[in-house]
Amino acid sequence: MLRASAQVTTIPLDPRAITDRSVDPLLPAGEALLDFVDAVLTGDEASQEVTREAVAGELGPSGLVDAAGVIANFEMMNRIADATGMPVGKGTLKRTAEWRELIGIDRFNHLGS
Given the rule CB under 8 A, which residues bind other proteins? 1-2, 4-9, 11, 13, 15, 17-19, 25, 27-30, 33-34, 36-38, 40-42, 45, 48-49, 52, 56, 59-88, 103, 105, 108-112
**Chain-centroid distance, C-alpha 83:** 20
Comparing C-alpha atoms, which of 50, 51, 23, 46 is closest to residue 35?
Answer: 51
| Contact in structure between 7 and 99 (CB atoms under 8 Å) | no
Count of residues making up the chain = 113
Q: Which is nearer to other proteins, 28 or 98 (CB)?
A: 28
Query: What is the closest distance, in whole angstroms, from the C-beta atom of residue 105 to other proteins in the complex?
Result: 6
Residue 73 CA to residue 61 CA, distance in Å, equals 18
Query: What is the closest distance, in whole angstroms, from the C-beta atom of residue 97 to other proteins in the complex?
Result: 13
Query: What is the closest distance, in whole angstroms, from the C-beta atom of residue 101 to other proteins in the complex?
Result: 14
